[in-house]
Amino acid sequence: MNKQVAAIIGGGVIGGGWAARFALNGWDVQIFDPDPQAERKVGEVMANARRSLPGMVDVALPTEGKLTFHDTIAGAVDGAVWVQESVPEQLAIKHTTLAEIQKACSPEAVIGSSTSGFKPSELQEGALRPEQIIVAHPFNPVYLLPLIEVVPTEANTAAFLDGADTILKAMGFYPLRVRKEIDAHIADRFLEAVWREALWLVKDGVATTEEIDNAIRYGFGIRWAQMGLFETYRVAGGEAGMKHFMAQFGPALKWPWTKLMDVPEFTDELVDLIAGQSDDQSGAYSIRELERIRDTNLVSMMRALKAQDWGAGALMNAQEKTLRAGSPLAARVDDLDDVSAPLLTVHRAVPLDWTDYNGHMNEAKYLQAFCDATDRFMEMIGCDAEYISAGGSYFTAETHIRHVNEALAGTVIDVRTQVLSGAGKKMHLFHEMYAGETLLATGEHFLLHVSLKTRRPSEPAPHVLSALERVATAHAALDAPAGMGRAVGQRP
């Protein structure tokens, strides 16, 4: 079966992103760029895309397409179903490039321009076949962000545009059909307004660039990421809805809050238009439902940022460090006078993004909680970040989990850890997860100490082994926990 072919004319950051999106979705990609460094630059973009894009979906992407570089535009567009122009943002250069493309490409091919500002009618001026040229404006990184602003003119038929949309959607894009052509389309006009106001705030000494970025990423930027502008304001209007919000904050448009003072008058007609569109957009949900949807999305996004220690997630990590500092979870074995009882290794609430379609904690998250308990115990015996960076760690060799009761979002869980054995390279742990006094699950884990240099079992450092043996000796007097050594499916 022959693969579909895409041609990329201009292999910079945007063109390289287009190439990666097509290639990783199974298309063969033919590239023209006179820059002698083009192959290296596109290759670096491809490396980033291979690292990030395949994990965005939970099913394997098609076999990666073949990338080839061509000395001429004619060679690059030969056999292409989609041609993406991403040359410099100068209309004369685009006209020359589009003319060369149309001399050689199939009349049936879609020719998309990545232009961020020019209208499609400007691109179509003097074209051999204006009906095959559209604006297909992406957002960087093209291989990850879904939005493509598709801007047509009357020269483009409905069937042609529907075909273009079908191609884009198959690659995970969201083609936003712009109703009327306008300079800079939709998103960049919005971004330009924010950009201009930011420049004034810096120039007038009101804020630094970092303070402006923090205002966005710690506040409204996260809300916009999951609800956009109008739906966010609908929720802000409370039970009274969008009309109430506009009535309350509409007068602010007349106040000198911004340098951009040319705003439309808040007539009844405009209020009704926006409120009606907001009803169409969000009216299927009550305000309380929208608030819960918003909160779940915010938690999920900020916890993703937390894993990367970035933006709002870095703030959460800093708060967590403060909370942990004054709790029993901060203690080391050497700091404890009595280690005869199972040790508290996890004390936390079940977050919203740990629940599944059954409304309770996903089974994978039980493993995560027990992994966190193991990590905490490792810290307690001295196998901490500093020790691991020096080349020693424990690797899990075997795990067995029993699911005893449900845990719902918000449930406060404790994990208590018993050392079944600990000597030499071996560590055998048994975790019990509780909500209050209710047993939720158990996890039995066998680990080996390894050298991170050889990736093979090795003896732990004396201070780690001493702490482990102390706990193991103390716990030897405990009763064997229920479920220890259980086989899968074995009756209680």
Q: Where are the domains of the chain?
A: 5-177, 187-293, 328-475
Q: What is residue 1's predicted lDDT score, i.e. its pLDDT?
A: 46
Beta strands in 263-404 (DSSP E): 343-349, 392-403
**How far apart are alpha carbons 140 and 183 in whole angstroms?**
19
Domain 187-293 classified CATH 1.10.3470? Answer: no
How many residues make up the chain in this entry? 492
Judged by phi (left if over 0) then psi (alpha if -120 to 50, else beta), residue 106 lies in beta
Q: Are 398 and 387 in contact (CB under 8 A)?
A: no
Q: Are strands 456-457 and 438-451 parallel, antiparallel or unpaired?
A: antiparallel
**Nearest CA among 76, 90, 93 for reference residue 9:** 76
Residues tagged in the binding site annotation = 10-15
Beta strands in 114-173 (DSSP E): 133-137, 147-151
**Would you tell me which CATH number, out of the four given (1.10.340.30, 3.40.50.2300, 3.10.25.10, 3.40.50.720), belongs to the domain 5-177?**
3.40.50.720
Kindly report the CATH class assigned to 328-475.
alpha beta
Q: Indicate yes or no: pTM above 0.85.
A: no
Q: Which amino acid would we find at residue 92?
A: A
For the purposes of burial, counting CB atoms within 10 Å of the CB of 78, is it exposed (0-12), middle (13-18) or buried (19 or more)?
A: middle
Residues tagged in the binding site annotation for NAD(+) = 10-15
Question: How many other β-carbons are positioned within 10 Å of the β-carbon of residue 226?
Answer: 15
Residues 6+ apart with CB under 8 A from 98: 85, 111, 113, 123, 127, 133
Judged by phi (left if over 0) then psi (alpha if -120 to 50, else beta), residue 181 lies in beta
Q: How many whole angstroms from its chain centre is CA 310?
A: 12
Q: What is residue 264's predicted lDDT score, i.e. its pLDDT?
A: 67
Give the 3-state secondary structure of residue 383: coil
**Nearest CA among 367, 424, 416, 398 for reference residue 485:** 398
Kindly report whether the peptide bond that precedes residue 457 is cis, defined as omega within 30 degrees of 0. Answer: no
Only one residue has tokens 């999920």, namely 300
In which residue ranges of the chain is pLDDT below 70?
A: 1-2, 257, 261-264, 266, 492
Q: What is residue 261's predicted lDDT score, i.e. its pLDDT?
A: 66
H or E, element range at 17: helix 13-24
